Amino acid sequence: MWHRTATELAAAIRAREVTPREVVASHLERIEEMNPQVNAIVTLEDPERALAAADQAPPGPLQGLPIAVKDLEDTAGLRTTYGSPLFKDHVPATDSLLVERLKQAGAIIVGKTNTPEFGAGSQTFNPLFGATRNPHDLTKTPGGSSGGAAAAVAANMIPFADGSDLGASVRNPAAFCGLYGLRPTPGRIPDHGPGDPFDPLPVLGTIARTPADVALLFSALAGPDPRDPFSIQEPWPTPGDLRTDPSTLRIAWSRDLGGLPVDAEVTAVLEHARAALEALGCTVIDDEPDFTGADECFEVLRGVKFAAAFASIADDVKPTLRENIRFGQQLDATRIGNAIAHRGELFTRMREFLTRYDVLAAPTTQLPPFSVDLEYPTEIAGVQLGSYLEWFRSCSRITVTAHPALSVPAGITAAGLPVGLQLVGRHRGELQLLQLAEALR
């Protein structure tokens, strides 16, 4: 059953055509077959416990559907390492808010997916578990930091997955693995944990093989919670059917999001995606908002976040994360204040831009999947990069606007590697993005 979509499996369980135990057992067999090659699931729940949980799964939208949770989310009684040797034997006593909602919706936790140390970086490897490999080409990275999640879905080990996205961590691996990955509006999926609850940069998102599966998981996770001060109070409109007529949509098309270097292979694939939008009847116009200040805004506020969260362990983490912490510690009030001001300006510019258009379409990533042995690319399209944050600016520039974005599969390169198209919607406009993605299938 592992080849069937989450939506199909949920319908089959409701119709009593299959049992939750049968669905979970099938996926456990697939994990046993595929995970040694891909290294996506790094801690596996005891199979008998998972099957027993399937037998007792409560009624809900995800009843009996297996999921492996990103190893940044606490799971009661199941090892959670955050990708760090400092937590190699850590077993939480309680579930995170996201895991609470998964269980309440009837999902079955079968394991934890790999992530870079503390989720820092858009390539998935760490000293505990090594690197996760891209199922499309085992010599390539699946991206990150939700690389284990995306690789597990792409290899059909689980039907969908949760992810978290600060700079690119849902969208990048979705693009690299030929999947759909949604970074929603901040507060749409509530979160509760250590750190600043008022920070809009990190959000929780969903990854799946179809827009309907993204929507199914998203529907179970979205909704208000008093523990998250950003939590959106209005319910997300759970769609029964994503099909709609996209012919009235006005799409702004950006090839490089304000002059970023983009690999020619990515550009060539995305031109076919543009033609597909036009074939649907969409009006597609070359245009983009002003991203002035976006890179400084993201990198400064990210540095502040990491300095606050990890200063006490800076000497014990990987070098790139240590550099981020030190960078954050050296920032002065003027630079931080300017970054906060830029964040407000970038939100306003995007909001006003999307009064003239329904969606902004742009590259999800600036290059195709690269070698799994490379920590991060240092050059794109002949342009040298200065740090490991620069290669995913096509995503981080969208992050700081606080608007939702969905990566959709756009095609493959000549070498058979997936390329993603990033659709950016109006604030709280996730439904329209999913409807457009469904029309593009």
- Pick from 117, 182, 187: nearest CA to 395: 182
Q: pLDDT value at position 51?
A: 98
Residue 84: CA count within 13 A, CB half-sphere: 18
Quote the CA–CA distance of 376 and 388 in Å, as a whole number: 6
| Cα-based angle 91, 230, 342 (whole degrees, multiple of 5) | 110
* Residue 209 tokens, joined: 């093989």
Contact assessment for residue 111 and residue 34, using Cβ atoms and an 8 Å cutoff: no
Q: If you average pLDDT over every residue of the chain, what do you get? A: 97
Which is the catalytic residue, given 26, 96, 169, 254?
Answer: 169
Quote the CA–CA distance of 38 and 30 in Å, as a whole number: 12
Model confidence band, residue 219 (pLDDT cutoffs 50, 70, 90): very high
Domains of the chain with CATH codes: 6-221 (3.90.1300.10), 250-292+341-440 (3.90.1300.10)
Residue 238: pLDDT over 80: no
Q: Are strands 418-424 and 359-363 parallel, antiparallel or unpaired?
A: antiparallel
Contact assessment for residue 216 and residue 160, using Cβ atoms and an 8 Å cutoff: yes
Q: pLDDT value at position 194?
A: 87
Model confidence band, residue 9 (pLDDT cutoffs 50, 70, 90): very high
- CB atoms under 10 Å from CB of 233, counted, come to 7
DSSP E strand stretches across 288-429 = 359-363, 379-380, 383-384, 405-412, 418-424
Model confidence band, residue 202 (pLDDT cutoffs 50, 70, 90): very high
Which is the catalytic residue, given 145, 146, 254, 396?
Answer: 145
Q: Stretch 192-201: mean pLDDT, rounded?
A: 92
- Residue 109 pairs with which residues in a beta bridge? 67
Q: pLDDT value at position 235?
A: 85
H-run or E-run covering 214: helix 211-221
Q: pLDDT value at position 167?
A: 97
394 catalytically annotated: no
H-run or E-run covering 135: none
All residues at 6 or more sequence positions from 347 whose CB lies less than 8 Å from its CB, including other chains: 401, 402, 403
145 catalytically annotated: yes
Q: What are the C-alpha distances in Å from 185 to residues 2, 232, 428, 437? A: 30, 9, 6, 17
The interaxial angle of helices 264-279 and 430-440, nearest 10 deg, is 90
Q: pLDDT value at position 240?
A: 78
